[in-house]
Amino acid sequence: MASIKALALVSASMLAVLAASCSDKSTSSTIDMPTNGTVSLYVTDAPGDVSSCNVKISHLAIYDSMGHKVTLIDVGNPSQTVDLVQAHSNPAFMSQFNVPAGTYNALECTIEGVNFTMMDSGATCTFTDGTMTFPKMMMQGTMMQVDATGTKLTVDIPIISGNCPGNGMMGTLSFGSMSEMHGSMM
């Protein structure tokens, strides 16, 4: 009789374990991490000695902390033209991009189609070199975190000054460092 009670107790225990394992209630606590986030791209520049400076970004890529490159803008999908001087006090919105979630700490950029107007003479010139490439640069002291909440990326294209010999002519621009990359949560 005792063996029947023991067998019944073991059977009941096994049924309880089996029923608990078949339950659709999970006791594990997993957190779903977003695989993508949104980056809203803005550009700006300090005014310098030009009254307008129209550029088109033909290439822009960001790098995550592991060194993986994510291209946002490339030759096949260039940005619209923006006047950096007008974007000084209010950075110009360029576009939104879906990128893998993570921490980003570097960028590279190429601008083209640059024309600018000098503040003192009013002469408008085209940038002699046609394009300007800023190679991969690390952000100084800051990292941009991309997650499901969205991130605003403001890139300061560092035009310091210009030289325009006359209206409609080729001119030169002096550029600073592209280290002014700002990432902030939206």
Q: Which of 55, 53, 57, 99 is nearest to 77 (CA)?
A: 57
Phi, psi of 21 (to 5 degrees): -75, -20
What are the tens digits of pLDDT across the range 49-74?
888 888 888 888 999 888 999 999 88
What are the tens digits of pLDDT across the range 170-180?
988 887 766 55
**Identity (one letter) of the amino acid at 146?**
V
Q: Which of 82, 156, 160, 73 is nearest to 114 (CA)?
A: 82
Question: 12: which residues sit within 8 A by CB, 6+ positions away?
Answer: none
Distance CA 114, CA 53 (A): 7
Percent pLDDT > 90 in the chain is 4
